[in-house]
């Protein structure tokens, strides 16, 4: 009974708070600055552009591991929203990724809008507009090039934009789809310039092949009409006034994208009835990333957790998971993140199933051979078997990689 209780608590702990588990079970080899604020001079924009980069918790400069990248427009104002979502959902719902936030504090309207206009919503535009193509060129030829050169990136990229940046995001999908795999457009300003981009989409989505691309669109529906509270999502499309054009444009685009299935776009959209334009980024980032990475979500955790599951069944599950990941990413990917390999290994040790523990620990070493934690975990397995010789061997490998005092002290104690 005691073992069953411990098992249930451990499983709940692993999947409800995986980030905390990883932090407490892994040993930092050295201080690593995982968050960098920087800038580059853009020849295209003739100005410096600021950005920040956040590396994953498992980043190790000595490792050859490369990561998918999320690019966030309005990156400084929306930074906390993306970090909150990512920190809570990596592991089971999405992979370790590098996050990049792009500043749009300067010339925001110019850089994110897709065409030049002089009037908007009955007023004169007193700022420059229509620079989206130039800003796209900066992202493609300067920023992405810089990030790929200086950080361990994969070409699997996600772009997130809100409002004008949502308009920009959809424009990139329609006209530069090679740049990103996933697109999340939050309350996109598709009413811009008399729905010019929406009109283009009606033709582009009929012919452009978007296989392997994903788009999530979010609409904040608390104020569908700027002056009339009686306008709801049910009767929105009956209204023809300028005051509902913003929301009607998003609904029309979403209905269009949903119907044009021949382009093979992985499209999803969601209406948020309780959110405003200013509050929607946080829930939409969560839903967008979880939805577009649905294929990544860990399959059959109950089977992994069941003490009756055989080793052959576990091997089959891991093999299938690896196939799913590799097919969707387009490159070879381990079937589990390292934290899960170690977590399941220790769970099975606690459950009195050492053969399964050995399976998970050995696979962690196979897929993460540069990780000191993987060898340290295997050393714990041999310690549990009272096999001091093998435990010392694996601890020496861990210490050779990490060089830190934790492994040295543990090794010295074991040798005594």
CATH number of the domain residue 316 falls in: 1.25.40.10
Taking 50 as the pLDDT cut, the residues of the chain under it are 1-29
Tell me, yes or no, whether 351 and 210 share the same domain.
Answer: no
From 296, 319, 342, give the residue that closes a domain. Answer: 296
Tell me the whole-structure pTM to 2 decimals. Answer: 0.90
> What residues are paired with 153 via a beta bridge?
67
Domain CATH for 176: 3.40.50.1820
Same domain, yes or no: 57 and 85: yes
Q: Are 184 and 159 a contacting pair, CB within 8 Å?
A: yes
- For the stretch 150-190, pLDDT in tens is 999 999 999 999 999 999 999 999 999 999 999 999 999 99
**pLDDT for the residue numbered 122:** 66
Query: Structurally, how many domains does the chain consist of?
Result: 2
Which of 279, 296, 313 is the endpoint of a domain?
296
Does residue 244 lie in a domain region? yes
Are 70 and 167 part of one and the same domain?
yes
Answer whether residue 19 is part of any domain.
Answer: no
In the chain the first and final C-alpha atoms are separated, in Å, by 36
Instruction: State how far the alpha carbon of 114 is from the alpha carbons of 7, 140, 191, 278, 348, in Å.
Output: 55, 16, 11, 22, 55
My answer on whether 177 and 316 are in the same domain is no
- The answer to whether residues 343 and 256 belong to one domain is no
Residue 175 belongs to what domain range? Answer: 32-296
pLDDT tens sequence across 4-63: 334 333 444 444 444 333 333 444 445 578 999 999 999 999 999 999 999 998 898 888
Q: Is 259 domain-assigned?
A: yes
Question: 173 lies in a domain?
Answer: yes
Are the CB atoms for 403 and 29 separated by under 8 Å? yes
Query: 275 in a domain, yes or no?
Result: yes
What is the pLDDT at residue 229? Answer: 85
Do residue 121 and residue 257 come from a single domain?
A: yes
Q: What is residue 31's predicted lDDT score, i.e. its pLDDT?
A: 56
Residue 294: predicted pLDDT? 96
Residue 274 falls inside a structural domain = yes
Q: Which of 232, 261, 296 is the last residue of a domain?
A: 296
Residue 42 lies in a domain: yes
Identify the pLDDT of residue 8.
39
Same domain, 377 and 252: no
111 and 81 share one domain: yes
> Is residue 140 located within the same domain as residue 270?
yes
Domain co-membership, 244 together with 308: no
Instruction: Looking at the structure, tell me whether residues 263 and 369 fall in a common domain.
Output: no
In a domain, 382, yes or no: yes
169 lies in the same domain as 253? yes
């Amino acid at each position: 009974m005691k073992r069953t209780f411990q098992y249930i608590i451990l499983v709940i702990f692993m999947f409800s708070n995986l980030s905390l588990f990883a932090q407490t079970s892994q040993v930092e080899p050295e201080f690593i600055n995982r968050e960098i604020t920087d800038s580059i001079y853009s020849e295209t924009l003739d100005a410096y552009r600021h950005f920040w980069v956040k590396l994953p918790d498992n980043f190790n400069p000595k490792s050859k591991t490369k990561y998918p990248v999320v690019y966030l427009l309005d990156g400084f104002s929306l930074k906390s929203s993306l970090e909150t979502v990512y920190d809570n959902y990596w592991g089971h719902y999405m992979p370790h990724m590098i996050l990049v936030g792009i500043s749009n504090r300067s010339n925001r309207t110019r850089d994110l809008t897709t065409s030049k206009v002089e009037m908007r919503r009955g007023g004169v535009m007193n700022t420059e507009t229509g620079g989206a193509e130039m800003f796209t060129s900066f992202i493609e030829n300067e920023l992405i090039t810089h990030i790929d050169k200086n950080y361990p990136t994969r070409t699997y990229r996600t772009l997130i934009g809100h409002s004008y940046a949502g308009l920009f995001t959809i424009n990139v999908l329609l006209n530069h789809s090679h740049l990103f795999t996933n697109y999340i457009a939050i309350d996109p300003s598709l009413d811009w310039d008399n729905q010019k981009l929406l009109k283009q989409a009606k033709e582009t989505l009929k012919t452009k092949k978007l296989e392997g691309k994903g788009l999530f669109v979010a609409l904040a529906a608390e104020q569908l009409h700027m002056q009339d509270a009686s306008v709801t999502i049910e009767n929105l499309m009956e209204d023809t006034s300028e005051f509902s054009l913003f929301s009607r444009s998003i609904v029309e685009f979403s209905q269009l994208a949903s119907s044009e299935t021949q382009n093979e776009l992985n499209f999803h959209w969601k209406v948020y009835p309780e959110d405003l334009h200013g509050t929607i980024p946080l829930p939409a980032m969560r839903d967008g990333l979880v939805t577009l990475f649905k294929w990544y979500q860990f399959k059959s955790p109950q089977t992994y957790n069941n003490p009756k599951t055989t080793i052959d069944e576990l091997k089959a599950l891991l093999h299938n998971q690896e196939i799913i990941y590799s097919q969707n990413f387009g490159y070879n990917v381990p079937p589990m993140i390292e934290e899960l390999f170690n977590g399941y290994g220790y769970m099975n040790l606690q459950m009195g199933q050492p053969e399964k523990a050995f399976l998970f620990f050995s696979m962690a070493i196979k897929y993460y051979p540069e990780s000191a934690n993987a060898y340290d975990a295997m050393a714990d397995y041999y310690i549990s078997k009272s096999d001091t010789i093998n435990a010392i061997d694996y601890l020496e490998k861990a210490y050779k990689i990490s060089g830190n005092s934790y492994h040295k002290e543990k090794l010295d104690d074991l040798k005594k």
